[in-house]
Structure 1
Amino acid sequence: MSRILIAGSDSLIMPECRLMLEAKGYTMQHCLNLHEALALVLEDPPDLLVTEKGFSGKTGDVDLIRAVKACLQKANIPIFLVMEESQLQVELDWDNYPVDDILTRPFTPELLLTRIRLAESRMIRAFDNNPLSRLPGNTSIIRAIQRVLGAPEGYAVCYVDIDNFKPYNDRYGFSRGDEVILMVARVMVNVVDEVARKGSFVGHIGGDDFVFIVREEMVEPVCKKILANFELVRNMFLSAEDIAVGEFVGRDRQDRETRFGLLSLSIAAVTTGGGRYTHYGEVSSVASQLKHCVKKLEGSNYLIDRRER
C-alpha cells in the first residue's frame, strides 16, 4: 500500500485521519521541517505528499513541491496542498504550486481518504509508469525526447539494454530477473541524479530496455559511471559457479544450447544538438543502429553518435 509523506505541523493531519488511513493500509511519515522532508524525498521517495501552505518558512512549501516534481525515482507523485479557507481569497500562482489537489481545513477522515484514492486512480489513468520500476513509460519517453529535440541546448538520448537478459531469466528465474531490472533502474536513476540532474530524464520502455536523457556535455561521464556502478553490483545477481567460468550455458532464440557471457549493459547514445532531428522516431532509428553495433562488443560498453546531418 502507498506511503504518504506528511510535511507540516503536528495538526496538519488529525489523529482520526491517521487512524483511518492506517486502517486502510497506508503508512505515514511525518516531517516537521523542510530539511527532513527533502532528505526523505531524495533518499526514499513517498508515493504521495500532503503538505500545507506556508510549510517551513516563506518558500518551504514551493521548494518541497518542486523537489517532488523533479524526483527521478518515482514519476508523477500526487501532491496535496492543505490551506485555510481564508488563503483561498488570495489567488495563487499555480505555476509555482503544481499540485494535484487542495484541501481546506477542517476536513473529515472520509473526505481525505476519498481524495487520496481518487488521486491514485487518476494517476493510474493519466500516466504510464512502469508497474515494476515505477519509472515513466513509453508515452512519457516520447514526450521527453520531443521536448529536448525542441530545446536550444544539446542533449543526449541514451538507450540502455541488458545483454543476455532472456537466457539469464531462463537460468535464474523471472523473480531474479525482476531484481536485476530494479537494480539497473536504481543504478541509472542514482547516477543521473548525482552527475547530471539538470534537465534530465529516466524512463523504462519495458522489459530490460531503458532510456535516459542528459545534457550532451554530461553523456560520457554518466555512461561511464553507470557501467562502473553496474559492474560493482552485478555479481550479487550471479552464482559463484557462473562467475568463476565467466559465462553460463543457456538456450538461444532457436532453442539451441549456447554459451552466454555474464550480464552486461549496452548503451546507445544519440546527441541532439544543432537541430539534427525533429521527430523522436528519427532518434529511435539511429539508436537501433548503434545498439546493433555496441551489442557486438564484449562486456558492458557505450557508443555515442555525434554525426552531423
Structure 2
Amino acid sequence: MTTITSLPPGRTQERPAPLRVQTLIAEDLLTTLFQPIVQLDCGLIYGHEALVRGPAGSALEYPDALFAAGRREGLTVELEVRCANQALKDWSRQKLGGRLLINMSASALTHALRDEQGSGGLFSDEAYGVSPSSVMIELTEHERVTDIENLRRAITALRRQGVGIALDDFGDGRSSLRLWSEIQPDIVKIDKYFTHDLPAHAEKLQTFRALLQLAETFGAQLIAEGIESAEELRVLRDLGVTFGQGWLIGRPSSEGAVEALAAARTVLASSDIAVLPELRRASSNGVTAERLMMEAVTVREDASHEQLFRIFNEHEQLHAIAILNAKDEPVALVDRSQFINRWAKPFFNDLYGRHACTLFANQTPLIVDADTGIEALTTVLTSSDQRYLREGFIITRDGRYLGLGTGEQLVRSVTEARIEAARHANPLTFLPGNIPISQHIGRLLTSGRGFVAAYADLNHFKPFNDEYGYWRGDEMIRLVARVASSHCDSQRDFLGHVGGDDFVMLFQSDDWEQRCEQIVERFNDLARNLFDAAALQAGGIMAEDRHGDMRFHPCTTLSIGAVRIAAGTLHRPEQVATAAATAKRHAKHEQLSVYVMAA
C-alpha cells in the first residue's frame, strides 16, 4: 500500500539547505585518508600523503568540490589550515611510521605562518603528539606564486623546526622549474601524466631521465605519482626514481598501510628488468646548416665578369661565388665550372667581360638560414633541380650573408647522421639498433639475473633479394620484425635489429624456447607468400651464389641461435653478443630452426 502525502495549497516541498564549508569546519566534519608512498629500491613504506574528505555521500566529499566551495565562501586559508590540523590529529591516532605529507598552497602556508598566533600552533613541537621532523608540507601550485620572499621566509621557519618541503604535481603546467630552484624542496612529486602508460611512451621516459638529473643537481628526490600497473612500476624502479605512489602500491584508507600491496611487492622484489621504450632519434643529431658553412669571397652586384674571373683564378678551391647587394643580402650565385666554361668560349671576354656578373648568374639560388636543420635540407638530395648539389647553397642569418655550403658537405653530413641514428634505431624496422641493444644487455648483466640472448638470421636471403629486388627484400626483413615482435613479451623481452637480416632477442620470459620455435614456424609460413608461384612449386629459385655460380636455393627460412646466460658467467655486452653470434652460426651450419647452447 502506497501512502501519498499532499501539501496544503500554495505550499511547495522545501529543499534542504546546501552543505557549507563553514559548517564542516565548525562541526568538525572533516576526516583524513592516508595513501602510502613506497621506496622503490627496497619496497619499504616511506610515508603517507594525507587526503581530506568531507561527509561521505555529500556533495563536498571529495577535495575538488570541497575546495571550490571553500573559495566561494572565502574560506580557502581557514579550510587548508583545518585540513592540516585534522591530518595531524588523525595521524597521531594511527601510530604509523615514516613521514606525513600534508598539502598546502603557497598563500595558505605563508598566511598561516605569518605570526605565531596565525599558525595556531599548527607546526609547533609535538603538535598532537606528532614530531615536526616526521611532517612534510607538499606545496601545491594551483595558483601562481607571486610572493616568493614571504614563501621563502615561511619555508625557512618550517625547516628550523625540522619540517620537510615537497613540491607537488611538478609538470602539470602549474608548477615551475623556477619555483623548484627558488625553494629547493627535499622532494618533488612528478605529475601522474608522466607515469601513465610510461612503458609505451619514450618521450615520457626521457622526461623522467631529465628530471632525475635535475633532482641530482638540486639535491632533491622524486616521487612518481599515479602508478597503476606493474609495468609502470618496473620502469620507474629501473630508472632510479626514489619513491612511488599510486593505486598499485596502496589505496587511500583511514588506517594507512604498513606495507605495499602484494602486486607492487612482487614487482619490487623481482630481478626482472624493464624493457625501456626507445625514442626515435632525429637523424640530423642537432647539426644545422651553420655547421656546414665555409667562408668564401663575395662580390657586389656591379662587379664585372673580368673581376669575377680574377677572383676564381686567385681562389682555385672556390666552387662558387655569392653576389650581394649593398645590404649584404645575397641576390645571386655564380657556379665556378659553368662560369669558366663560358669564359673559355671565343669572344666571351670581348662581348661580356665588362658586363655585370649577374648576367649569367643563378638569380634564384638556394638560400637557407644558419639554424636550419640538416633534415630540412635533405630535399636537396632528391630534388629534380640538381644545380643545388653542384653549386651548393648560400647560408644567411637574419637575411645577411654568412657563407656557402657545398652539396658534397651536405651528402656527407646526412650520411654520417643517418648512420649514427641507425645505431639507435634501425630505419627499416624502427627497432632499437646496436647502442640500445648493448645498453639493455648491460642492464641485464648488472641486474644479476639469468637471461637468454638469441640471434636470428635468414637463410638463403641474398638469392631472394637478388632475384626479387630490394623492395621485396625489405618486406621480408620487416616480416621478421613483425613476427618476432608479436611473439615477444613487450614488457620482459627485448627485440633489436642489428642491421640487414640480423636480429637480437633478449629473453626474460621463462617460455623463451617455445617463443623462438613459434617465431621460426610463423615466419617460415608467411615468408612463402613473398615468392612467386613457380618458385613455390619448385621449392626455391635458381640464382647466383656468393661465388657467382648459378645453383638452386631453397625458399628463405629463419634460424635462431640462443645462448643461456647464467648470472655471473659473462660480464660485458660484447661477450654476450659474441656468444649469441656463435650460437647463430651453429644453427645455420647445422640447418636447425633453433639451436641452444650455454655460455
Class of the TM-score when normalised by the shorter of the 2 chains: 0.5 to 0.7
Q: Which amino acid aligns with 2:560?
A: I
Q: 1:267·1:294 contact (CA, 8 Å) conserved in 2?
A: yes
String of CA shifts for 1:266-286, please: whole Å, max 9, x gaps: 111111123211112222222
Post-superposition CA distance 1:177-199 (Å, at most 9, x none): 0011111111111111xxx3333
8 A contact 2:192–2:224 mirrored in 1: no
Name which one, 1 or 2, has greater alpha-carbon Rg.
2
Partners of 1:119 and 1:170 in 2: CA distance: 31
Instruction: Name the residue aligned to 2:476.
Output: 180
After TM superposition, the runs of 4+ consecutive aligned structure 1 residues lying more than 3 A away are 58-61, 76-81, 91-98, 118-127
The separation in 2 between residues aligned to 1:148 and 1:181, in whole angstroms, is 27
> Partner of 2:431: helix, strand, or coil?
coil
Note if 1:163 corresponds to 2:163.
no
SS at match of 1:275: coil
- The residue type paired with residue 445 of structure 2 is L
Residue of structure 2 equivalent to 1:129: 425
Structure 2 CA distance, aligned partners of 1:78 and 1:200?
18
Change (3 A) 1:95 1:136: farther
How far apart are the structure 2 equivalents of 1:274 and 1:93? 31
- Is this contact kept in 2: 1:157–1:213, CA < 8 A? yes
CA distance in 2, matches of 1:186, 1:139: 21
Q: Is the 8 A contact 2:457 2:558 kept in 1?
A: yes
SS in 2 for 1:135: coil
Distance 1:151 1:128, change over 3 A: same
Alignment of 1:1-309 (within 5 A): 53=172, 59=192, 61-69=194-202, 93=222, 128-192=424-488, 196-215=489-508, 217-298=510-591, 301-306=593-598
Q: How much does 1:231 deviate?
A: 2.6
TM-superposed CA distance for 1:93, in Å, is: 3.7
Following superposition, the deviation at residue 175 of structure 1 comes to 0.7
CA contact (8 A) 2:524 2:558 kept: no
Q: Provide closer, same or farther for how the CA distance between residues 77 and 245 of structure 1 changes in structure 2, counting only shifts above 3 A.
A: farther
CA distance, structure 2, for counterparts of residue 168 and residue 232 of structure 1: 16
Is this contact kept in 2: 1:154–1:216, CA < 8 A?
A: no
Provide the residue aligned with 1:28 in structure 2: none
Percent of pairs with identical residues = 29
Partner of 2:313: none
Q: What number of residue pairs does the alignment pair up?
A: 215
How many Å separate the matches in 2 of 1:161 and 1:259?
Answer: 20
The answer for the alignment partner of 1:88 in structure 2 is none
Which structure 2 segments of 5+ residues have no match? 1-170, 174-190, 209-219, 226-235, 240-280, 287-416
Shift, 1:210, TM fit: 0.7
| Superposed displacement of residue 261, structure 1 | 1.4
Deviations 1:139-179 (Å, cap 9, x if unpaired)?
11111122212222211111110111111111110110001
Question: Cα distance, 1:63 vs. partner?
Answer: 1.8
Deviation at residue 287 of structure 1 after TM alignment: 2.3
Report the secondary structure of 1:150's partner residue: helix
Q: Kindly tell me: are residues 249 and 271 of structure 1, through their superposed partners in 2, closer, same or farther at Cα, counting changes over 3 Å? A: same
Most deviating of 182-191 and 118-127: 118-127
1:122 Cα deviation from its structure 2 partner:
5.3
Give how far 1:288 is off: 2.9
Separation (CA, whole Å) in 1 of partners of 2:458 and 2:475: 13
Q: 1:121 to 1:62 in 2, by over 3 A?
A: farther
Corresponding letter in the other structure for 1:68:
H
What is the rounded CA distance, in whole Å, between the counterparts of 2:548 and 2:487 in structure 1? 37
Native 8 Å contact 1:191 1:225 kept in 2: yes
Greater CA deviation, 289-298 or 237-246? Answer: 289-298
Ranges in structure 1 where 5+ consecutive residues have no aligned partner: 1-51, 70-75, 82-90, 99-117
Q: Is the 8 A contact 2:542 2:553 kept in 1?
A: yes
What is the distance in 2 between the residues matched to 1:203 and 1:94?
A: 31
Secondary structure of residue in 2 paired with 1:305: strand
Relative contact order (C-alpha < 8 Å, sep 6+): which is higher? Answer: 1
Question: In structure 2, what residue type is equivalent to 1:161?
Answer: D
Q: Helix, strand or coil: the match of 2:510?
A: helix
- Which residue does 2:92 correspond to in 1? none
1:80 deviates by 8.1
2:197 and 2:484 map into 1 onto residues whose CA distance is 23
Give 1:225's aligned amino acid.
Q
- Contact 2:458-2:558 within 8 A present in 1 as well: yes
Could you tell me whether the CA contact under 8 Å between 2:583 and 2:597 is conserved in 1? Answer: yes
